[in-house]
Amino acid sequence: MSRLRIDRRSPTLWTATFANPPINLIDAPMVLQLQKLLTAAEADEQLAVIVFDSADPDFFLAHWDIAADPASTEALPLGPTGMHPWLDVLVRLARLPQITISALRGRARGAGSEFALATDIRFASRERAVLGQFELGAGAVPGGGPATRLPRLVGRGRALEILAGAEDYNADLAERYGYVNRSIPDAEFVTFVDRFAERMAGFDTRALREMKAFVDTVTLPPAAEFPPQMNAFWTSVARPETQDRTRQLFELGLQQRGDAELHLGRYLDRLSRPESGLEESGPR
């Protein structure tokens, strides 16, 4: 698995590490590898906990590879949900019998944020983690279900603020909003996540799964809520104005390891708005 390294630390605990240089973009090969991981986890009766982390301290999962041919994802096999391959990953991830943890050091925007939202628990490095749903800033509708998951976590008003504002959220603000469970100093981060995961992995697996199933029953959204959002995403990215804004982002350095990706929320202010004739002067 070139983009996803699996460390089976014990029969009850796995770590899955994202490693897709230069900035951990999500692409078709990564989706395929995630589908294989989910299939293995679904069939493993001993496994209790999966930790997702990153080999890159600046990027957990940057976002979707916008430059990739959409046909490469559409060619992937559908999973058991019968949904678009990315939605299949997110829905199955949320419904795994295991406890899943996103160990967020670095940026998780767009589809990267969608992945983190589909995991059960999100811990964030205070100095390194940045989350956000930047799609509206480029004229696109988020397609992976954050409009469904965020309101259940942070409430309606804050969900609209996150989605419509398209800004970056540091770990402390994300914790205050409920976007993540906890913000942890980076010097303590790895030790904290390991200790928490190992503690859970040492409990009775059957009891852990039964408990999670009860929580899932009252908290997980119906799978039918997700496909309309993906349809809206594809419709929105086909609009000329969205394609123009995306082109501008690439000219500013999108998907390159540099300031634009490190501070993407600010760089959205530099996009021209042809419908209003205005152009902002950022980044702030």
Asked if residue 208 belongs to a domain, the reply is no
Asked if residue 209 belongs to a domain, the reply is no
Q: Are residues 59 and 168 in the same domain?
A: yes
For residues 38 and 21, give the distance between their C-alpha atoms in angstroms, rounded to a whole number: 22
Asked if residue 214 belongs to a domain, the reply is no
Supply the pTM of this predicted model: 0.95
Q: Are residues 20 and 59 in the same domain?
A: yes
Please give the chain's pLDDT, 284 residues, in tens: 589 999 999 999 999 999 999 999 999 999 999 999 999 999 999 999 999 999 999 999 999 999 998 888 888 888 899 999 999 999 999 999 999 999 999 999 999 999 999 999 999 999 999 999 999 999 999 999 999 999 999 999 999 999 999 999 999 999 999 999 999 999 999 999 999 999 999 999 999 999 999 999 999 999 999 999 999 999 999 999 999 999 999 999 999 999 999 999 999 999 976 554 434 433 33
CATH number, residue 171: 3.90.226.10
Q: Are residues 247 and 168 in the same domain?
A: no
Asked if residue 171 belongs to a domain, the reply is yes
Q: Are residues 234 and 122 in the same domain?
A: no
pLDDT of residue 276: 42
Q: Are residues 194 and 275 in the same domain?
A: no
Q: Are residues 177 and 240 in the same domain?
A: no
What is the tally of structural domains in the chain?
2
Structural domain boundaries enclosing 138: 4-200
